[in-house]
């Protein structure tokens, strides 16, 4: 009975593991390609292996598989009766061939091809894994496949890796058991399997459940990309942005999760002062993130012409300034400061501002996208008068209010309550907004890029940050502020773009700023009736770059509440502000190193070290004997104390040279072999002296001068 169970197991298990390994290739396709019905394909693989396991005759299993494919194609693509499927497929194929294969073949054809390749793959897999017991190649291929997908695609291979590790252990235990059986140790297999399987099971479970260290190295992909971008290769941010992990993203409908640094320079700005760079604004908060307002309205303006967009009323004092932007990548939209007046570039470009997002696209006259590299802008640098903001009346325009105070019904009540609580006793709109902005600077909120949670399925993104996690980066802070402000009926919107970046150099009053992917940022704009959209900065460690001023008469009264912050901040270097103190304390050495060394320096040092190590390894046969020779020449000791370590070093050297001594070989037998291959008799002579030392009674009878000479000659013979 036991015997039968054992035979059954040995028939089922390898097939099961092979099927499992092959299906691991299918699951990521859902994410990285637009393949649907993964389950049906996986089922097909399982069926293939089921036929192998049951030793179904080839013709029968082929029939079964064809039937399955037939059924699937009929189910997905053809409404016709099931008998018409081959005919339909045939005509699809003919149509494709007649088309000269120019276009992608029809979906049904491609699905058929995919099924057939799965069939072939399962055949090869079965042959390798089950028949030949060769696990390594399929396993290694699968692991690399998952690793590559996890690294370069938005696919997260965490589960797959855990499963693969478990499978690897399982296969190892199984194969070892089979080998034991082959050697005749069948009696122990059971016990051994139980013991061996429990260890990986415990390890995998513990690893899965236990706490995990954050990644020990910054994401290398960002670096590789930035390197590619630096070397002048074409680099498209729009595709890069699909990887949510890095820099400025397009899709904000699902916010949350860690944010990994990326040093790629996006653009360089020659400018007159610091301000934020806008890309777009978003209005619709879904409870998980932001989506764009649906509107087709476009405002276009020509190269070098005024854009005639009213940013603020004339209550806001403005100063005209210019900036010159050089993008490091190809972009089809502008980064621009609020208050933009006109844009100038060498090409004949039409700028089209989508009013829904205020994103400005660069196109030709026919509205085809054109990339833009260098452009000069004129903009108004605002100075917001605080009294005007204070005296702003509540907004009345109902349509406007509806759009900018939109909130999902699912927003928990405690968020609205918190907004009321924060603004209690504040009379004016401005004071309320300011109170909310300031709220995040206290109350235990911390800036954090790596350990940031993703909201659970039915949890609100803002609610989670405000009440549970209290740590996050700009998206958490800005979204929370926008939602809190909106809940009070004050129109607010969410703005995405970049901070002013890092001041690289100053030339004749012009300042050059480098703006990197790391500088991607989000903040809030609040609408004040009679003034316009005013930017606010709730994120901890960041400072609103725009000026707010009191008229002289009110200055003394208002100074304490606002001025200290505004004055202190310019003195503090930006880098320090970005890294709040709470995070600094537990920075690891590699993070400190990373902050001192740029990625390139680190890579150069690494490559140099690797090259040095590689050279030393490759040339070890040349220098290591010489080094040994030098070491032992310099030894002060004499007699046996010299001979014993020297002889042992010689044994190691000969071993590395390729003359291996078997464990049961005596020194004499070995010496004869060495002498034969090196065509000498020195090893035998030296070995006699060594034997005298370690096996003899009188170790001082050796002729150390002769021994030294023999030893040196032998070492020299091993230098190639």
Contact positions vs another protein (CB under 8 A) = 644, 648, 651, 661, 663-669, 691-697
Which helix H or strand E contains 404, and what residues bound it? helix 398-404
* Between 668 and 676, CB nearer to another protein: 668
**Min. distance of Cβ 691 from another protein in angstroms?**
5
**Min. distance of Cβ 676 from another protein in angstroms?**
13
* Between 419 and 646, CB nearer to another protein: 646
* Between 250 and 669, CB nearer to another protein: 669
- SS3 state at 356: coil
* Between 579 and 691, CB nearer to another protein: 691
Contact residues for 6 (Cβ-Cβ < 8 A; gap 6+): none
**Min. distance of Cβ 134 from another protein in angstroms?**
31
Measured between alpha carbons, how far is 38 from 22 in angstroms, rounded to an integer? 12
Measured between alpha carbons, how far is 85 from 478 in angstroms, rounded to an integer? 55
- 403 in Cβ contact with 486 (< 8 Å): no
**Min. distance of Cβ 660 from another protein in angstroms?**
13
Question: Which is nearest to 704 in space by CA: 626, 624, 646, 630?
Answer: 646
Contact residues for 583 (Cβ-Cβ < 8 A; gap 6+): 446, 447, 448
Residue written as tokens 């209550």? 315
* Between 184 and 232, CB nearer to another protein: 184
* Between 34 and 664, CB nearer to another protein: 664
* Between 184 and 444, CB nearer to another protein: 184
**Min. distance of Cβ 707 from another protein in angstroms?**
15
Alpha-carbon dihedral sign for residues 535, 536, 539, 541: positive
- 311 in Cβ contact with 533 (< 8 Å): yes
Cα–chain-centroid distance for residue 530? 45
* Between 98 and 697, CB nearer to another protein: 697
Measured between alpha carbons, how far is 550 from 556 in angstroms, rounded to an integer? 9
Cα separations in angstroms, 568 against 571, 573, 677: 6, 11, 80
* Between 527 and 690, CB nearer to another protein: 690
* Between 587 and 676, CB nearer to another protein: 676
**Min. distance of Cβ 670 from another protein in angstroms?**
9
**Min. distance of Cβ 699 from another protein in angstroms?**
8
Measured between alpha carbons, how far is 496 from 483 in angstroms, rounded to an integer? 15
**Min. distance of Cβ 693 from another protein in angstroms?**
7
- Ordered DSSP codes for 126-180: IIIIIIS---HHHHHHHHHHHHHHHHHSS---HHHHHHHHHHHHHHHHHHHHHHH
- Rounded (5°) CA angle 24-28-29: 110
* Between 305 and 668, CB nearer to another protein: 668
SS3 content of the chain, % helix, strand, coil (to 5): 55, 15, 30
Give, as one character, the DSSP assignment of residue 521: E
**Min. distance of Cβ 630 from another protein in angstroms?**
23
The strand pairing partners of 506, in sequence order, are 511
**Min. distance of Cβ 715 from another protein in angstroms?**
18
* Between 9 and 649, CB nearer to another protein: 649
- SS3 state at 712: helix
* Between 345 and 692, CB nearer to another protein: 692
Please write down the HEC assignment for all residues of 447-474.
ECCCCCCCCCCCCCHHHHHHHHHCEECH
**Min. distance of Cβ 663 from another protein in angstroms?**
4
Question: Which is nearest to 715 in space by CA: 611, 623, 642?
Answer: 623
- Pairing of the two strands 290-291 and 446-447: unpaired
**Min. distance of Cβ 148 from another protein in angstroms?**
45
**Min. distance of Cβ 166 from another protein in angstroms?**
35
- 231 in Cβ contact with 211 (< 8 Å): no
């Amino acid at each position: 009975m036991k015997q039968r169970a054992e035979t059954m197991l040995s028939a089922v298990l390898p097939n099961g593991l092979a099927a499992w390994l092959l299906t691991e290739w299918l699951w990521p396709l859902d994410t990285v390609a637009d393949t649907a019905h993964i389950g049906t394909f996986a089922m097909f693989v399982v069926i293939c292996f089921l036929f192998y396991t049951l030793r179904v005759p080839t013709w029968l299993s082929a029939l079964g598989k064809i039937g399955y494919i037939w059924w699937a194609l009929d189910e997905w693509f053809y409404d016709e009766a099931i008998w018409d499927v081959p005919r339909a497929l045939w005509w699809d194929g003919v149509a494709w061939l007649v088309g000269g294969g120019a276009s992608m073949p029809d979906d049904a054809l491609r699905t058929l091809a995919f099924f057939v390749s799965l069939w072939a793959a399962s055949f090869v897999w079965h042959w390798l894994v089950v028949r030949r017991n060769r696990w390594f190649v399929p396993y290694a291929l699968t692991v690399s496949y998952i690793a590559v997908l996890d690294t370069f695609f938005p696919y997260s291979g965490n589960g797959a890796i855990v499963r693969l590790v478990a499978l690897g252990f399982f296969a190892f235990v199984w194969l070892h058991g089979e080998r034991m059986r082959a050697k005749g140790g069948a009696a122990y297999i059971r016990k051994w399997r139980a013991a061996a399987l429990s260890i990986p099971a415990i390890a995998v479970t513990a690893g899965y459940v236990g706490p995990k260290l954050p990644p020990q190295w910054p994401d290398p992909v960002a670096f590789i990309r930035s390197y590619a971008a630096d070397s002048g290769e074409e680099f498209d941010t729009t595709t890069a942005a699909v990887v949510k992990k890095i820099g400025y993203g397009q899709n904000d409908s699902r916010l949350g999760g860690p944010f990994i640094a990326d040093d790629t320079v996006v653009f360089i700005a020659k400018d007159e002062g610091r301000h934020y760079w806008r890309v777009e604004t978003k209005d619709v908060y879904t409870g998980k993130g932001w989506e764009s307002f649906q509107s087709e309205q476009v405002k276009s303006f020509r190269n070098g012409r005024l854009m005639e967009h009213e940013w603020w009323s004339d209550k806001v004092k403005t100063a005209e300034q210019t900036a010159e932007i050089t993008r490091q990548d190809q972009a089809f939209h502008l980064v621009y400061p609020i208050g933009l007046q006109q844009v100038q570039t060498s090409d004949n470009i039409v700028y089209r501002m989508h009013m829904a997002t205020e994103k400005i696209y660069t196109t030709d006259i026919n509205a085809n996208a054109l990339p833009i590299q260098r452009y000069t802008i004129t903009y108004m640098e605002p100075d917001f008068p605080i009294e005007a903001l204070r005296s702003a009346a509540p907004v009345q325009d109902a349509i406007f209010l509806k759009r900018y105070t939109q909130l999902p019904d699912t927003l928990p009540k405690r968020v609205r309550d918190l907004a009321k609580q924060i603004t209690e006793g504040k009379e004016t709109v401005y004071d309320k907004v300011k109170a909310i902005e300031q709220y995040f600077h206290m109350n235990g909120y911390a800036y954090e890029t790596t350990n940031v949670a993703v909201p659970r399925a039915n949890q609100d993104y803002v609610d989670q940050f405000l009440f549970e996690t209290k740590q996050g980066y700009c998206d958490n802070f800005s979204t929370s502020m926008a939602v809190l402000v909106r809940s009070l009926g004050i129109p607010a919107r969410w703005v995405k773009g970049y901070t002013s970046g890092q001041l690289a150099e100053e030339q004749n009053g012009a300042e050059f700023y480098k703006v990197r992917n790391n500088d991607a940022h989000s903040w809030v704009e609040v609408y004040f009736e009679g003034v316009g959209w005013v930017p606010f900065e709730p994120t901890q460690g960041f400072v609103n770059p725009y000026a707010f001023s009191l008229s002289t008469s009110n200055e003394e009264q208002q100074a304490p509440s606002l001025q200290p912050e505004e004055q202190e901040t310019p003195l503090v270097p930006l880098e320090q502000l970005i890294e709040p103190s709470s995070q600094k304390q537990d920075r690891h050495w590699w993070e400190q190193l990373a902050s001192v060394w740029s990625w390139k320096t680190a890579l150069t040092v690494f490559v140099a070290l690797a090259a040095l190590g590689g050279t030393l390894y490759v040339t070890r046969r040349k220098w290591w004997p010489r080094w040994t020779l030098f070491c032992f020449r310099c030894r002060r000791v004499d007699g046996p104390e010299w001979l014993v370590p020297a002889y042992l070093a010689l044994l190691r050297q000969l071993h590395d040279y390729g003359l291996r001594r078997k464990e049961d070989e005596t020194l004499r037998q070995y010496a004869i072999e060495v002498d034969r291959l090196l065509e000498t008799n020195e090893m035998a002579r030296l070995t006699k002296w060594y034997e005298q030392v370690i096996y003899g009674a009188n170790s001082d009878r050796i002729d150390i001068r002769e021994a030294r000479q023999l030893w040196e000659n032998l070492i020299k013979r091993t230098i190639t």
